[in-house]
């Protein structure tokens, strides 16, 4: 063993990438808080100001992550798409089941629209985080 510090192989080959994982994770955090907030009022109608602000923040972070990821150079897009596709399938099914529970609890109108958008962010943020993390270290 030499006196030099050892670096992991992935540290030597990592490329500079935008903080997509942090942005998609932040989006997930905002919509989960918003979803719990909306669910806490069911079956009554929730005040929409807080929920709409949380939803807008989540959507904004997802758009920012998409723009940042689109600017990434030397990125393993084929790996990203492959991982995202299958993870999205799983999370879309989960989001659909949660949506069904809200509909079953008689949520209607604008409240249902806000929850639906939050669930769309949920169904895309986790797969984006997973796919980004995998593709970040893939060789393509």
- Dump pLDDT digits (tens) for 39-89: 888 778 888 999 999 999 999 999 999 999 988 888 889 999 999 999 999
- Pair 83, 130: CB distance under 8 Å: yes
pTM of the predicted structure, to 2 decimals: 0.84
Domain ranges of the chain: 18-136
Instruction: With a cut of 70, say whether residue 114 has pLDDT above it.
Output: yes
Q: Which residues contact 17 (CB under 8 A, 6 or more apart)?
A: 72, 75, 132, 136
- pLDDT at site 3: 59
The arithmetic mean of pLDDT across residues 92-120, rounded, is 92
Would you state the pLDDT for residue 102?
86
User: What token pair was written down for 19?
Assistant: 């903080």
Q: Is 28 exposed, middle or buried (0-12, 13-18, 19+ CB in 10 A)?
A: buried
């Amino acid at each position: 063993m030499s006196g030099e510090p050892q670096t992991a192989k992935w540290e030597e080959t990592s490329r500079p990438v935008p903080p997509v994982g942090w942005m998609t994770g932040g989006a997930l955090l905002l919509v989960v808080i918003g979803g719990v907030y909306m669910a806490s009022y069911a079956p009554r109608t929730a005040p929409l100001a807080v929920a709409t602000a949380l939803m807008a923040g989540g959507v904004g972070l997802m758009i920012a992550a998409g723009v940042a990821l689109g600017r990434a150079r030397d990125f393993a897009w084929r790996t990203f798409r492959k991982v995202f596709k299958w993870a999205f399938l799983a999370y879309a099914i989960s989001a659909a089941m949660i949506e069904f529970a809200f509909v079953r609890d008689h949520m209607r109108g604008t409240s249902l629209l806000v929850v639906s958008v939050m669930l769309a962010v949920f169904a895309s943020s986790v797969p984006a985080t997973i796919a980004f993390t995998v593709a970040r270290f893939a060789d393509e």
